[in-house]
Structure 1
Amino acid sequence: MVHKRKMKSPIMIGFIAVIVFSLFGFGILNVSANPIQQSFTDVHNDFWAKDEVTQLVDLGVINGYPDKQFRPALEVSRGQAANLLTNALQLTYSSYQPIFKDVSAKSSHLKGAMATYEAGIFLGKEDGTFGVGDSLTREQMATVIVRAFDLQDTGEEIHFTDEARISDSHKEGVKILAQHGITTGKEDGTFDPKTPVNRATYVVFLHRAMIQNGMIEKLPATVFVEANTYGDYTPIRFEQQFAEVPLTTTAKTYLRSNYAMQFAGEKTINHPHAKDIVYTYRVSGLSPATVTLTKRELPNGDYFLFTELRNPQRMPITVDVIQTETGLTKGVLHEFSKYPIKKNVDDTFGFDLTTYPTGIFEKTDQDGHKSQRMIGKSYQSVELYQKYPTGAESHTRELLQESEAFSGAKLGDTQLSVYRLQSRGFDVVDQWLLSSEEPLFADRKQMDAWMLESAVNYKKRNKWYTAHGPYNKMAVTIEPMPKSGRGYGRNLLLVKEDRVMALYSETGERYYENLVYNAFANLDIFRGNATYWETEVTSTYLKSLYGITAPFVDTRFNEQIALYLYNGGKAFGHTDYSVGLKNYADLLVSQKVKGNILKVDNSSYYISDYFPSAQKVKTHTSMNHALGGMNILLLAYQEFKDPVYLNTAYSIQSAIEKDKKKWIRSDGDIWYKVSPEYEFIGRDYVHLTLEDLIHSYENWSAIDPAALPVFEEMIRSKAGYLNKNKLGYTTKIKQGLERIGMSELLPAGAEHTDAL
């Protein structure tokens, strides 16, 4: 179908445009060669069309993409070309008419298609479509520009060496465009009529036509202040799809991919001291693939952003989280890598592939206010499951790769941040960041201290955070364990961020405060609807000893979590600080009736270390578990005044006292455990049990000093063993011995932040 030309005079339109541009100051932008800020990372001082792109962008004729790129090499479609001409000529249209099969009332090309059709610029195609998605060829471009600007034949003879390839319907347009100097063809004398026009070329031709028609003035050459870049920032030249995520009002956030992304839902999950807002997107054409962004809002106004790309198919997918912020004068990335990690392999955990976060990005706004963002790396992994005849399961992950995710650029007062998640297929990719409008650390000294500690203790500091909790290297004695040995899981002792709590108590730093709040949320997620915590990973050590598999209750884990929530909740003023304590103390009391004890006599017994969920079996009791459980019971008695807690604590104390000589080894150390067959066996932890003995001494001092002698004797014996072998001490041991007036027992050797 060929449509009649309904030409509205482009000269009149151009005349109006000149007036409008003059009234509003258009056309006199960038009037000097003074350096200006880049608007796009791929339009720079070496870019051949920088002047034309800059001026038409300033005039609002054409825009870039949300990721601050112009993408000059992308082909221009007929629909896009119509929109740009409509902007340049400020065309209007009467109303929607069902003229073209491929242009609906909701089409993004509606205005351009209708306006250029009514102006007689684009006439449509023979098949009744506008061809909005078809590439605009060079010969088509020549014709529409000639029509749009009403360029006339000057009579000059124009020849191109490939003019035989120019369609008859476009020969006149190509000739006239060349007569007016808007095109000179290619260097080899050809016009190349069938090649699609890219964005840069189209802008240059449009710019020349607007200047020749008097619509705009030719401006001095553009000179840019070069953009600052961070990380391995590289513009993406190819077409990308964008989906805006309504994350904050202070920054624009987008998902970027070469696949379209469809919004699949939003939900809010409330935790006791945080709120998760979860945004889910499906990767179009790859229906099983999803991108999930979880914004965890904290009470102080900061937030974590956990992004997960889940790709259960072979197709590789890359998704970038793009954020743009304005009003910034400076951006600095403080990197953890300035503190190199000395990696080692040990018999318990093997080789840990993980390191530490990328770093802290510090922003300064126009008022001089500083804010900081901690940026994590990306983690590509495969989920592993092992099912047992009981119906129980064990869950681990094989970590395939830890990689840098962050890159960015600063364009004037605009900061572009890119966080990459790259999937190879059949995997899960995680990336996280923590954003604050305030400094996370008060000064560089505090920041550097944490970075150094993270490097030295890289195996015991969380860095692979997810919306479901942190993942860490698991002991080699877990299943399922991949052949690579890179088995990772959610370790409850590390979910609770014990070291971070201690640092927050010492320094009050905002970063530690945020990690503590995040730990509260993760513990809530891990526990689910239960009142206690069960492991999700099977220990082959326990499986071979007793046949137990995940899930099971580890008393040490639950004791440490109860204390963490109790002390942390008190420090933060939470009204529910004692709930975890009571729940776990009740669980300990109930074990006598359930038979999960090792009886010494009628009034004395130990509570087993582990309570299997799927198996009925009695396990051993280790000294550190026994002390930890007893300490919880004593704390619960002090908090709630219920004698049942004290009575159970007395039963454990009595058992230790009656077996004191059996527990203390000939070298002064403590045996690790007493087996269900009542054998005292195993080499004890280096420092951990001494920390527990000191806590037991403190707790009994406040309740019944008559119970103290057995603990004092064991403290002296254990400390003496450490001193004789120069095994050092932990900060907790040093501070604990000072509190109970036994500083003279401090062992020789180095001080450690974490118990060995």
Structure 2
Amino acid sequence: MSKKRVTTVLLASLLSIMLVLVGCSSTDANSIAIDQSFADIHNQFWAKDEVTQLVDMGIINGYPDKQFRPTLEVSRGQAANLLSSALQLPDAPYKPIFKDVSSKSSHLKGAMATYEAGIFLGKEDGTFGVGDSLTREQMATVIVRAFDLQDTGEEIQFKDENRISESHRVGVKILAQHGITTGKEDGTFDPKTAVNRATYVVFLHRAMVQTGKIEKGPEIVFNEPATLGKYETVRYEQNFVEVPISGTDKTYLRSNNYLQYAGEKTTSHAHSKDTVYTYNVGGLSPAVVNVTKRLLENGDYFIFTELKNPQRMPIKIDVIQTESNLSKGILREYSRYPIKKDNDDTFGFDLTTYPTGVFEKTTIDGNKAQKMIGKAYRSKELTLTYPNGESSHTRELDDESEAFSGIFLGDTQLSVYSLSSRGFDIVDQWLLVSDELLFSSHQVMDNWMLESATYYKKRNKWYTANGPYNKMATTIEPMPKSGRGYGRNLLLVKEDRTMAMYNETKERYFESLLYNSFANLDIFRGNKTYWETEVTSTYLKGLFGITAPFVDTRFNEQIALFLYNGGKAFGHDDYNLGLKNYADLLVSQKGKGNIIKVNASAYYIQDYFPSKQNVKTHTSMNHLLGGMNILLLAYKEMGDPVYLETAESLLAAIEVDANKWIRPDGDIWYKVSPDHTFVGRDYVHLTLEDLIHSYEMWYEIDPSTTAVFEKLIRSKAGYMDKNGLGYTTKIKAGLDRIGMPELLPTGPEHTDAL
């Protein structure tokens, strides 16, 4: 026996031993049970044994998405590479022999080695034909040459003998003489048909066995793999690019379109870092894929994938991830908690629901980790530009769809996240990945999923690298005819409920959502020290002619508080920066004339400051109290008397107009207009929360000032009680703190204020 044959036999024997050691079990004397390596090579596949053996020997490989694609045609270049690997041909130096093989060609090694060995001789036109499909008759000839098969003298005849090229008839005959081919069932050889990967592997395997280069392995029986979602294999050719997301797991983009790397950009936020990888789709196509990795301060990271397709051509992009060394994986789905949807008069019908679920993995050494999987959202950008050059921005949501599917192959989990564009649209999908448990128990996770189903309109779910999108009120523009208008609502970019849940539970998931919210607010603000809305309210446009962008004082107040509370909870040095910036903005409004004057020392600050429009707007009680509370907090934090002086001017205006603010039915008027008239129906719960907070803030500074707030609290709470409007958790806790629990209105308790 030759030294080369001894080596290959030993390799095959060693392979069989290794398969047993890694967990294979015997099913009978001539077969072994192992885990599938490829999603499309299974127990029903006719060439599973041959493919498995040659793959394990490193002669042929699969694709990054854990598929072998057995029906794909084999090119002459690929066939040459495989043969040089199977025969362990020595490397041959580059020679300018073939027009289509350069010194940098991926087929260089195979083309040069097989040419020097006299296996592939090239084509008459001076090319190797690396991209040409290998036909069955060509395959016969190269295998005969490669393995030096000799004519046995046996007569072989196929029904379609006349279709076999003269130059390949000997090769076909010899291949059949050695039993490497038996032709088709109908007695033909079918010489001109292209050879696919499975057929080529089988013929190559038979030749290697017949010539003693390997021993035929035992029959393979695969353990049945588990699948998640609607996992399907993709049989046709795909293009892959690796995205450098993780140092341990692999992430790829997969598409039937050509994908070209177009660069990357890193941007640092206060408590996270974004790295954006951009890929052009289809070469010169204007379509692009942006993959953003947002690394959070706690080590978790988001992956935001955005497919922008400004053309009619449909495009599908899949994000492929492989995670190895796993013993178990389970998907806990949100859909266990059905949503009861309604058609809201204010917001219309909301198409969105909640994320897909949490995938929990257990590694072979027993460690557990989780990732939250978001759905895919297909939308169109809408922009309305005004004469002053400013504009309003929304999205029309076309559909929300399940993006995730997966398959468990041995100790490897393959995950697929699909983004399907129909043209002239944007498709978004997101993941939150952690090396830890996002939820400390399944009970905590289930409670959050149930809450997300119950309050689906207010719990963020459509995340993007530029912030979350939520259903907008019907009174915004541009609003599509479908009514499916979505946008970045500043009140929901900050995540108050997440903050409350984090303070209550300290769960990692809520911590990571908060870090993400900090980044989104940073991105939304841009270079300014305050936040302007990007959507026009037709309500405000009708009243005052205001269009986007404009400062909404309530939005800025709540964002400043959110960043203040979140920063303190996480121990951030910059926790009071947003507070200072907004307090300074409020102080400056008197000098800019954005006030409603009551007397020489008392005034209200307007609710809205348009960017490029000089108009007077109203002051609502909830905006007024919120701004005053911010000024008092800034005074306590930084001690600047200008904050207290401005707050005292607002308090003086409330004291002068206290009786005017109370409606005849006991409720509070919604707003005071620039002409000093009081109009509008107030929020159900929100203003009482603010009144309680103002009572507490002023009590610390000057208890004598609280009388006006007690008066308004008693009136508002009495109205709510008489009408059975219920209360929020904040109202109940606040009334207890200020010693007025008897004022708690009758009715149900609400998590969110109405």
TM-score by length of 1: 0.97
Q: Hey, what does 1:68 align to over in structure 2?
A: 66
How big is the shift at 1:17? 4.6
Q: Hey, what does 2:170 align to over in structure 1?
A: 172
CA 1:323–1:171: 2 relative to 1, 3 Å: same
Q: Hey, what does 1:618 align to over in structure 2?
A: 616
The equivalences for 1:87-166 within 5 A come to 87-166=85-164
* AA of the residue aligned to 2:744: L
* AA of the residue aligned to 1:305: I
How big is the shift at 1:287? 2.7
Q: Hey, what does 2:292 align to over in structure 1?
A: 294
How big is the shift at 1:19? 2.2
How big is the shift at 1:97? 0.9
CA offset digits 1:475-494 (Å, max 9, x no partner): 00100001100010000000
Q: Hey, what does 1:606 align to over in structure 2?
A: 604
CA offset digits 1:191-220 (Å, max 9, x no partner): 111010000010011111111111111222
Q: Hey, what does 2:546 align to over in structure 1?
A: 548
- Answering whether residue 504 of structure 2 is matched by residue 506 of structure 1, we say yes
Q: Secondary structure at the match of 2:457?
A: helix
Q: What is the rounded CA distance, in whole Å, between the counterparts of 1:92 and 1:731 in structure 2?
A: 77
How big is the shift at 1:94? 2.8
Q: Secondary structure at the match of 2:524?
A: helix
Q: Hey, what does 1:19 align to over in structure 2?
A: 7
How big is the shift at 1:93? 2.6
Residues 32 and 219 of structure 2 are in contact (CA less than 8 Å); yes or no, is this contact kept in structure 1? no
How big is the shift at 1:34? 3.2
Structure 2: gaps (5+ residues) = 21-25
Residues 386 and 394 of structure 1 are in contact (CA less than 8 Å); yes or no, is this contact kept in structure 2? yes
- Answering whether residue 428 of structure 2 is matched by residue 430 of structure 1, we say yes
Q: Secondary structure at the match of 1:677?
A: coil
Q: Secondary structure at the match of 1:79?
A: helix
Q: What is the rounded CA distance, in whole Å, between the counterparts of 1:118 and 1:592 in structure 2?
A: 88
Q: Tell me how large the CA RMSD over aligned residues is.
A: 1.2
Q: Hey, what does 1:526 align to over in structure 2?
A: 524
Residues 314 and 425 of structure 1 are in contact (CA less than 8 Å); yes or no, is this contact kept in structure 2? yes
Q: What is the rounded CA distance, in whole Å, between the counterparts of 1:184 and 1:479 in structure 2?
A: 71
How big is the shift at 1:601? 0.9
- Answering whether residue 228 of structure 2 is matched by residue 230 of structure 1, we say yes
The equivalent position to 2:275 in structure 1, one of 274, 277, 284, is 277
Farther off after superposition, 348-357 or 154-163? 154-163
Percent of aligned pairs sharing the same letter: 75
Q: Secondary structure at the match of 1:145?
A: helix
Q: What is the rounded CA distance, in whole Å, between the counterparts of 1:260 and 1:573 in structure 2?
A: 46
The equivalences for 1:360-371 within 5 A come to 360-371=358-369
CA offset digits 1:652-698 (Å, max 9, x no partner): 11111111111111211111111112111111111110110111011
Structure 1: gaps (5+ residues) = 1-10
Farther off after superposition, 503-512 or 672-681? 672-681
Residues 723 and 746 of structure 1 are in contact (CA less than 8 Å); yes or no, is this contact kept in structure 2? yes
Q: What is the rounded CA distance, in whole Å, between the counterparts of 2:309 and 2:673 in structure 1?
A: 46
Q: What is the rounded CA distance, in whole Å, between the counterparts of 1:17 and 1:703 in structure 2?
A: 93
Q: What is the rounded CA distance, in whole Å, between the counterparts of 1:328 and 1:614 in structure 2?
A: 57
Residues 373 and 436 of structure 1 are in contact (CA less than 8 Å); yes or no, is this contact kept in structure 2? yes
The equivalent position to 2:649 in structure 1, one of 637, 648, 651, is 651
* AA of the residue aligned to 2:651: Q
Residues 380 and 401 of structure 1 are in contact (CA less than 8 Å); yes or no, is this contact kept in structure 2? yes
Q: Hey, what does 1:742 align to over in structure 2?
A: 740
The equivalences for 1:371-520 within 5 A come to 371-520=369-518
How big is the shift at 1:324? 0.5
CA offset digits 1:130-186 (Å, max 9, x no partner): 000000001111111111111111111111111111111111111111111111111
* AA of the residue aligned to 1:676: P
Residues 231 and 407 of structure 2 are in contact (CA less than 8 Å); yes or no, is this contact kept in structure 1? yes
The equivalent position to 1:582 in structure 2, one of 580, 583, 606, is 580
Q: Secondary structure at the match of 2:649?
A: helix
Q: What is the rounded CA distance, in whole Å, between the counterparts of 2:141 and 2:587 in structure 1?
A: 88
- Answering whether residue 319 of structure 2 is matched by residue 331 of structure 1, we say no
How big is the shift at 1:449? 0.7
CA 1:34–1:26: 2 relative to 1, 3 Å: closer
Residues 93 and 118 of structure 1 are in contact (CA less than 8 Å); yes or no, is this contact kept in structure 2? no
Q: What is the rounded CA distance, in whole Å, between the counterparts of 2:92 and 2:233 in structure 1?
A: 40
CA 1:17–1:289: 2 relative to 1, 3 Å: farther
- Answering whether residue 622 of structure 2 is matched by residue 634 of structure 1, we say no
Q: What is the rounded CA distance, in whole Å, between the counterparts of 1:40 and 1:506 in structure 2?
A: 45
How big is the shift at 1:26? 5.0
Q: What is the rounded CA distance, in whole Å, between the counterparts of 1:94 and 1:446 in structure 2?
A: 63
How big is the shift at 1:24? 7.4
Q: Secondary structure at the match of 1:67?
A: coil
- Answering whether residue 681 of structure 2 is matched by residue 683 of structure 1, we say yes
How big is the shift at 1:740? 1.2
Q: Secondary structure at the match of 1:291?
A: strand
Residues 27 and 216 of structure 1 are in contact (CA less than 8 Å); yes or no, is this contact kept in structure 2? no
Q: Secondary structure at the match of 2:304?
A: strand
Q: Hey, what does 2:320 align to over in structure 1?
A: 322
Q: What is the rounded CA distance, in whole Å, between the counterparts of 1:235 and 1:310 in structure 2?
A: 25
How big is the shift at 1:332? 0.3
* AA of the residue aligned to 1:550: A
Q: What is the rounded CA distance, in whole Å, between the counterparts of 2:135 and 2:667 in structure 1?
A: 84
- Answering whether residue 201 of structure 2 is matched by residue 213 of structure 1, we say no
- Answering whether residue 668 of structure 2 is matched by residue 670 of structure 1, we say yes
Residues 17 and 89 of structure 1 are in contact (CA less than 8 Å); yes or no, is this contact kept in structure 2? no
* AA of the residue aligned to 2:523: I
Following TM superposition, where does structure 1 have runs of at least 4 consecutive aligned residues deviating by more than 2 angstroms? 17-21, 23-34, 284-287
* AA of the residue aligned to 1:713: K
Q: What is the rounded CA distance, in whole Å, between the counterparts of 2:664 and 2:334 in structure 1?
A: 46
Farther off after superposition, 23-32 or 416-425? 23-32
* AA of the residue aligned to 2:279: Y
How big is the shift at 1:22? 1.3
Residues 17 and 90 of structure 1 are in contact (CA less than 8 Å); yes or no, is this contact kept in structure 2? no
The equivalent position to 2:535 in structure 1, one of 528, 537, 549, is 537
- Answering whether residue 342 of structure 2 is matched by residue 348 of structure 1, we say no
Residues 12 and 215 of structure 2 are in contact (CA less than 8 Å); yes or no, is this contact kept in structure 1? no
Q: Hey, what does 2:23 align to over in structure 1?
A: none
Residues 152 and 174 of structure 2 are in contact (CA less than 8 Å); yes or no, is this contact kept in structure 1? yes
